[in-house]
Amino acid sequence: MICLVVIAMMQAVLDMAQEEVDRGGLPFATIVVNAQGEIIARAVNTVADSHDPTDHAEIRALRIATQKLQSSDLSGHEVYAIGYPCPMCLAALKLAKPKKVYFALALKDKNKFMKQAKYALPMEQVKDKQEKALDIFKLWSSSQLKPHASTTEHVRHKRTQPASLLVRSHADF
């Protein structure tokens, strides 16, 4: 049985989505709520404005919440989204580990309104580099990373030069 708090939080998401549609935006909105029932993050889909295909409401709300908490772990938090999350957002939600995700619109109903991408992403494994990639993952796996420690914190402590110096262009290889 859905409690009144869940109904109220979902209504907040629906109100945000309605406001976005009224402004000419997309009907996607998400909030993150802490264990005390406080909204700690709210976001809408801004893909059309930012031209960033990852600017979905769920991703943006997760970014806001994790930055506020200084942790990628949202255990104990709840996420409310207007519809069943797309595969990208679902993967991000699984990584964030919220206590529960609530949504109003089922996937089959949401998909009736979505332009289905017919694009098949060409992909190919570079098998000549598989062993080196495995070596890197083995090194990472055997490192002193704590199971719930953020990779960013680990890299920050081990890095000996600024991140900007670590970025190389394709021409450098």
Give CA–CA dist 38/2, Å, rounded. Answer: 18
Please confirm, yes or no, whether 19 is among the known catalytic residues: no
Which of the following is catalytic: 19, 20, 38, 58?
A: 58
Count of residues for the chain? 173
End-to-end CA separation in angstroms for the chain: 58
Rg for the chain, CA atoms, rounded: 19
Give CA–CA dist 136/116, Å, rounded. Answer: 37
Give the strand order in the sheet containing 29-33.
39-44, 29-33, 78-83, 100-105
Contact of 13 with 30, CB cutoff 8 Å: yes
Contact of 99 with 76, CB cutoff 8 Å: yes
* Residues marked as catalytic: 58
